[in-house]
Chains A and B, each alone.
Chain A
Amino acid sequence: MTIYFDNAATTKPRKEVIDKMLPFITENYGNPSSIYKIARENKTAVDEARDNLAKAINAKANEIYFTAGGSESDNWALKGVADSCSDKGRHIITTAIEHHAILHTCEFLESKGFEVTYLPVDEYGIISIDDLKNAIRDDTILISVMFANNEIGSVQPIKEIGSIAREKGIVFHTDAVQALGHVPIDVEEMNIDLLSASGHKLYGPKGIGMLYIRKGIKIKPLIHGGAQERNRRAGTENVPGIVGFGEAVKLASAELEQESKRLAALRDKLIDGILSSIPHSRLNGHPQKRLPGNVNISFEFIEGESMLLLLDMKGICASSGSACTSGSLDPSHVLLAIGLPHEKAHGSLRLTLGHFNTEEEVDVILKELPPIVSRLREMSPLYEDFIKNNK
């Protein structure tokens, strides 16, 4: 038995998605740029997927550009705007809790002479609108704030940020990789100019993403070559990926309201159950302003990787912000940014629920987790010190 609670890492593609993709891997392999029948059919399928994506975020189909994934979209948004607007200014505003696809791209741009302001977040992982206003300069060309955080699920005040950016005439990009298909997005209402998304976070395939580019926004290409994607993103279209992404977003949009309610109820049951049964634990992120499927809890006195190994023994897949799981000595930059001391960041557990998860599975976690935490605390010198000091 496997219980998959790592849907923020990636999701299992839905059967409807795979069924829709299969003919484009087997029979309809034509290059959409060609003129014969099997190629023309592919062109139609790509157009249909583009429509689905546009509808999902209230954009126009000709504002959707397919990429190889969320990281490419983030790179394109930042480097493309930096490149096309550098005569206007060289200042970019982002946040301290972005995905590395944004943070490391910003570091790269800093090495090219751009200046980047990293907005701090509060204890819940949410930026302050005043901080944003204060950070804006005459030479600010881009604001990039993630829609929802991949680790702690906090959802940013995107609409307010969008209206400030619009008022100041600054391009506004949002990394919505964790948000698309999970929370409502409206690029018109929210004044979003650029939006990154990825197929495999909403039960679609890996290796496909998109960048929404509002009509009129100036952005240089990242990938040069052929004339695909209206001359803005070269490379033969990943037709099966695009078709799968389109189907996944169609399903997710249709079910969003109902599914987000179902997941939020499971999420809250999981959070309440864990916090009430395990002492010295705390919720990371905002209790309400968070993704419907995101649970992130720190357990004092223990380390995350040990927890993951013991959960794995029970067939439960989860993740952690501990250094040991990041391959470095530092724990998650997101958990440090919300003010967690290192030792509590090391002891974090992320459980991300999705389409295939059930209440029975939540009950299994609630049963299996407390003895795992107790077992690790029993062998922890930090817990020993804590008990002795509190006797």
Chain B
Amino acid sequence: MQYSEKVMDHFMNPRNVGEIEDASGVGTVGNAKCGDIMKVYLKIENGIIEDAKFKTFGCGAAVATSSMATELVKGKTIPEALEVTNKAVMEALDGLPPIKVHCSCLAEEALHAALWDYAQKNGIVIEGLEQPVNDISEHEEIPEED
């Protein structure tokens, strides 16, 4: 299995790692059982995504797709952000090995979960955005510690 140079760059030097304290929307997807959890924070002002940050538990591809997805949505309007699909993230990273494609799907779902959270908090409807099935913070499926 070989990662592209872009994937390695975004894994070694991930952009936007961290939290946003007063985030407009936060989404967490994935689960520890399958080995990937992504948490995306968005700061949205006047319909523009002013800032995006993430925290990820997962493999190299999971970190790189989180990094790229947050990078791609920064400065975009919400409808534009919805166009940042898993395919767009993968293309921006010059592709992913086949068994890692699910990481790019998770990145898209994490963005959608954060946008959904924003919409819920502000009582608005974002056209074309469906409730994310994978948002584990909604269902509190965070794995128990022992």
The interface of chain A, by Cβ under 8 A from chain B, is: 301-306, 309-310, 313, 322-324, 327, 329, 331, 341-343, 346, 378-386, 389
Contacts and interface: CB of A to CB of B under 8 A. Distances in A.
B99 A331 contact: no
B35 interface: yes
Interface stretch (B54-62, B87-95, B113-121, B126-134): B54-62
Nearest to B28: A381
B58 A343 contact: no
Contacts of A310: 12
B145 A386 contact: yes
Interface of B: 8, 11-12, 14, 17, 19, 28, 32-39, 54-63, 99-100, 142-143, 145-146
A344 to B, nearest CB: 9
Given A323-B35, A341-B146, A379 B56 contact: yes
A329 B62 CA distance: 14
A322 B33 contact: no
Nearest to A301: B57
Nearest to A323: B35
B37 A382 contact: yes
Given A322-B35, A342-B35, A382-B32, A303 B146 contact: no
A341 B145 CA distance: 10
B1 to A, nearest CB: 8
A343 B63 contact: no
B57 A302 contact: yes
- Among B8, B14, B36, B100, residue most surrounded by chain A Cβ atoms (within 10 Å): B36
12 contacts: A302-B57, A303-B62, A323-B35, A343-B57, A346-B35, A379-B14, A379-B56, A380-B56, A381-B56, A382-B37, A384-B19, A389-B145
B37 A381 contact: yes
B2 to A, nearest CB: 12
A310 B63 CA distance: 12
Contacts of A379: 14, 17, 54-56, 63
B99 A327 contact: yes
Given A301-B57, A342-B33, A389-B145, 20 more contacts: A303-B58, A304-B59, A306-B11, A306-B58, A306-B62, A323-B35, A324-B35, A329-B34, A329-B35, A341-B146, A342-B35, A343-B33, A343-B143, A378-B17, A379-B14, A379-B54, A380-B57, A381-B39, A382-B32, A384-B39
Contact of B142 (A305, A324, A331, A385): A385
